[in-house]
Amino acid sequence: MARTSSTFVCQSCGNTTSKWSGRCEACGEWNTIVEEAPLSSGPAGKTLGAAKGRAAKLTDLSHPEAPPPRTACSIGELDRVLGGGLVPGSAILVGGDPGIGKSTLLLQAAAAFAQAGLKVIYASGEEASAQVRMRAQRLGLEQAPVKLAAETNLRDIITTLERERPALVIVDSIQTMWADNVGSAPGSVGQVRAAAHELTTFAKGRDTAVIMVGHVTKDGQIAGPRVVEHMVDTVLYFEGERGHQFRILRSVKNRFGPADEIGVFEMTGGGLSEIGNPSALFLSERGNPAPGSVVFSGIEGTRPVLVEFQALVAPSPHSQPRRTVVGWDGGRLAMILAVLEARCGIPFAGLDVYLNVAGGMKISEPAADLAVAAALLSAREDVALPPETVVFGEISLSGALRPVAQTENRLKEAQKLGFSTAILPRGGKAKGGGMTLTEMPDLAAVVGEVFGAG
């Protein structure tokens, strides 16, 4: 007889075991293991070896070197993040905080791809069709040839898709979908995984692209098991801060394009509009040169983007001084503070340090090390850098500066935006064009020559 016993699934990491325990042995979380009915049970008596399976020669596949055909839409920033348009049969997960604008973005995307000639279905489990229609009206998209489906039962959705055979289906959100053959509640790990699995399998089999919205947890992960991120081809995060108008769509994984690509949007009364020149936007709030403010010439995905680092250094009333970072890695900040102290004789003991990336951008490139160090020095020494200066370079633990990739592109973008000077590592074989290059061997030289300290 077929085994129909349940499995036990960790609601935090998705690890599956055959027996319950108080603590997940995979991720170490307590009280996260829940009994769930198996995803689907195979035909009675069949062993795995008896199932059908087939392998094809790599060389037999038609045109393996041909790039996948893509459909571009009128939202260029979205196409860019997808790697140059939508790939048929691809599965895409879009995560983001509640209220950040995911539904708005995807309704606009649905309309744009429909106008580009694709058959699009927008399946909403969060809002009734009337609500979606109202939103479309507000966005001026009520005439777009998009079909709406307000369904949450996976079986109903798959039936609809089988009948309609769309080229793109948008599922908003994956957490509201439920499969009636899985015994756990909607939103649970088992349900999310089953729904993502069914939808991606359908996508692959029918050449239907599927975009799934996923809610994120408090610590910024897409809620549900990490396995969903592994199932899909592309994972995008829609980021931004409530107080700010701009939103960033970032690819963190993409089988069909570069990861770390960003698209920049602005939330307006009429929906999201594209920002073609993000550098100008991120620098728009910059006033007169102030101590602690440094412009970094970074690379996001395939294009250069200029952003402003702001630092504040002040005597601390606490025995344990504060280190507060927004938009940059706290561990990396600690490292730069340690290098400044150990290699350049600039102590930060007894000082509170605040570091912020203006505009709600998140920077993860090590190339920003030197810009961070310059912002910290500028704040601590109360010396503003000359106004038309950009800074970039990686700092090693020895205090040496390492040249970074795409130096030319970084300089070109800076020059385009009216910057005339760059502080950068020596040895990058940089050609400045019209810019003055201050090439530095190590951090101690920057401390002495740029800030007159040390």
Residue 97, annotated as binding a ligand: yes
Binding-site partner at residue 425 among ligand TYD, Mg ion, none, CB < 5 to 8 Å by type: none
- Looking at beta carbons only, is 122 or 296 nearer to Mg ion? 122
Q: Closest residue (Cβ) to Mg ion?
A: 103
Q: Does an H or E element contain 250, and which?
A: strand 246-254
- Helical residues (DSSP H) of 186-226, grouped into ranges: 189-206
In angstroms and rounded to an integer, the radius of gyration of the C-alpha atoms of the chain is: 26
**Shortest Cβ 168–ligand TYD spacing (Å):** 18
The torsion angles phi and psi of 39, rounded to 5 degrees, stand at -55, -50
**Shortest Cβ 211–ligand TYD spacing (Å):** 13
With beta carbons less than 8 A apart as the criterion, state whether 262 and 363 touch: no
CA-CA distance, 211 to 64, in Å (whole number)? 25
User: Residue 173: is the preceding peptide bond cis (ω within 30°)?
Assistant: yes
* Type of residue numbered 183: G
**Shortest Cβ 385–Mg ion spacing (Å):** 42
Binding-site partner at residue 292 among Mg ion, ligand TYD, none, CB < 5 to 8 Å by type: none
CA-CA distance, 253 to 236, in Å (whole number)? 7
**Shortest Cβ 198–Mg ion spacing (Å):** 21
Binding-site partner at residue 269 among ligand TYD, Mg ion, none, CB < 5 to 8 Å by type: ligand TYD
**Shortest Cβ 409–Mg ion spacing (Å):** 36
Using the contact rule CB under 5 A, the part of the chain among 80-88, 100-108, 157-165, 279-287 near Mg ion is 100-108
Residue 170, annotated as binding a ligand: no
- Looking at beta carbons only, is 101 or 399 nearer to ligand TYD? 101
**Shortest Cβ 221–Mg ion spacing (Å):** 18
Using the contact rule CB under 5 A, the part of the chain among 96-104, 280-288, 321-329, 351-359 near Mg ion is 96-104
- Looking at beta carbons only, is 103 or 297 nearer to Mg ion? 103
* Closest by Cα among 225, 218, 216 to 250: 216
Residue 103, annotated as binding a ligand: yes
Which residues would be at the binding site for ligand TYD (CB under 6 A)? 96, 98-104, 135, 138-139, 267, 269-271
CA-CA distance, 127 to 405, in Å (whole number)? 45
Residue 99, annotated as binding a ligand: yes
Would you give the end-to-end CA distance of the chain in angstroms?
Answer: 78
Q: Does an H or E element contain 114, and which?
A: helix 102-115
Residue 190, annotated as binding a ligand: no
- Looking at beta carbons only, is 174 or 306 nearer to Mg ion? 174
Binding-site partner at residue 315 among Mg ion, ligand TYD, none, CB < 5 to 8 Å by type: none
CA-CA distance, 449 to 443, in Å (whole number)? 10
Rounded to 10°, the helix 330-344/369-381 angle is 60
* 325: Cβ contacts below 8 Å, ≥ 6 apart: 333, 354, 355, 356
Binding-site partner at residue 133 among Mg ion, ligand TYD, none, CB < 5 to 8 Å by type: none
21 is written with which tokens?
């325990």
**Shortest Cβ 97–ligand TYD spacing (Å):** 7
Does 191 interact with Mg ion (rule: CB under 5 A)?
Answer: no
- Burial degree of 88 (CB within 10 A; 0-12, 13-18, 19+): middle
**Shortest Cβ 126–Mg ion spacing (Å):** 5
With beta carbons less than 8 A apart as the criterion, state whether 142 and 136 touch: yes
- Looking at beta carbons only, is 93 or 368 nearer to ligand TYD? 93
- Looking at beta carbons only, is 135 or 380 nearer to ligand TYD? 135
CA 221 to chain CA centroid, nearest Å: 10
Binding-site partner at residue 290 among Mg ion, ligand TYD, none, CB < 5 to 8 Å by type: none
Q: How many residues bind Mg ion (CB under 5 A)?
A: 1
- Looking at beta carbons only, is 173 or 406 nearer to Mg ion? 173
**Shortest Cβ 208–Mg ion spacing (Å):** 21
For the chain, the farthest-separated pair of C-alpha atoms sits apart, in whole angstroms, at 81
- Looking at beta carbons only, is 175 or 310 nearer to ligand TYD? 175
Residue 96, annotated as binding a ligand: yes
Binding residue for Mg ion, selected from 12, 16, 103, 208, defined by CB under 5 A: 103
Going through 316-405 in order, the beta strands assigned E by DSSP cover 323-326, 351-357, 389-391, 394-395, 401-402
CA-CA distance, 244 to 248, in Å (whole number)? 11
Residues marked as binding for ATP?
96-103
Residues at the interface with Mg ion (CB under 5 A): 103
Residues marked as binding?
96-103
